[in-house]
Amino acid sequence: TPTLSTTATTPTATTPTLSTTTTTPTATTPTLSTTTTATTPTATTTTTPSTATPSPSPTTSLRIAHCPRGPTLHFAVTAYSLARDIARSQPAPVCVNNLLHAPPLLVLAGFHDSCRESALVASTFQHLFPPIVPHSTPLASIRRVLLLARLPDASILLRHYAISTAPTALSRPIRRIARPSAPLPNLANITDIADYVLHSSLSDSEIDDDPTVEIKLTPDATKLPTPVQQRAVKLVELGPRLALRLTKIEEGLCTGKVLYHSLISKTKEQENELDQRHQQRKAQKEKRKKEQAQNVERKRKKQKKDGSDSNE
């Protein structure tokens, strides 16, 4: 009987072993959860840059057409940031009400290669704004900058800035007091104004070592008093931000021959077939226009004849 009792306790000894084995999936579960959590922010960081919102759908697009004969550029918006999002991220946003009376200064970067579609995109953006002649355009009218940068992967980044200037002869505390549009700083805790001017510790978004430029005025510029003046130039982002990818270029105004497509490539035979098809459509369109003009002329003559008969 003791022997049987000892044998009966053997399954009892194996029971903890089975229990330990069942806890193994429990140890595996946090490992899987940790891997999933680490992957999610990595994908989000790659898709969306700082202060940029991913496109809500892959079909979000932007069309820029040159009226009335084209071409038409089709862009896919891969990421964007609204102007109000840019303003919220700045401690002192710029008011744009007085900056929209004149066109911005267009700056193109990365469009100097020999690619045909790149040159066409640069030419289209240049014709969106009137040209700026340095000798005749007033410097005071240039208040904004539109930057278009083409990256090596053929994507285009759009940035919009406001140009602000400040005289370099004045220190930062004096500039804060002299600005008419900005409120005065809080001087309640200062007993002497020299402490504020010489040892100012107030925070400001401006930098003392801003790059300076020397502006030489022409003799006929009578609006500005001094002939030469040094001022610090600073760019403040207005928004919006856009990350664009060129998908298609059409010859006409939203309907025409496809000159470039980023996803579809065709052979010479297919291109010749499309050319013939476009020529047929163009001939049919011209024929319909001619018939319509003849019908209008016939109706006009008939109305004129009926009017002369009624008068008689």
Sequence-distant (6+) residues with CB within 8 A of 46 are: none
Confidence of residue 38 (pLDDT cuts 50, 70, 90): very low
150: pLDDT strictly greater than 80: yes
Mean pLDDT of the region 82-111: 90
CA-to-CA distance for 142 and 133, rounded, in angstroms? 11
Q: Please give the structure tokens belonging to residue 92.
A: 């002192």
**In the predicted structure, residue 173 carries a pLDDT above the cut 60:** yes
Mean pLDDT, residues 106-134: 87
Stretch 267-276: mean pLDDT: 75
Q: Which carries the bigger pLDDT value, residue 167 or residue 84?
A: 84
- Give the pLDDT band (50/70/90) at residue 122: very high
> Model confidence at 57, in pLDDT bands (50, 70, 90)?
low
pLDDT at position 235: 92
| Residue 51 in this model has a pLDDT that exceeds 80 | no
**45-54, 141-150, 239-248, range with the lowest pLDDT:** 45-54
pTM (2 d.p.): 0.58
Task: List the chain domain ranges.
Answer: 55-168+215-247, 169-209, 266-311
Please count the CA atoms within 13 angstroms of the CA of 32 that sit on its side-chain side: 5
Indicate left, alpha or beta for 227 from its phi (over 0: left) and psi (-120 to 50: alpha).
Answer: alpha
Contacts 24+ apart (CB under 8 A), 146-151: 146/104, 146/105, 146/106, 146/107, 147/107, 147/109, 148/106, 148/107, 148/108, 148/109, 148/111, 149/109, 149/110, 150/108, 150/109, 150/110, 150/111, 150/118, 150/121, 151/110
Comparing CA positions, the residue from 75, 237, 89 lying closest to residue 160 is 237
pLDDT for the residue 58: 58
Tell me the pLDDT tens digit for each residue of 154-170. 899 999 999 988 777 77
pLDDT at 312: 64
Average pLDDT, the chain: 74
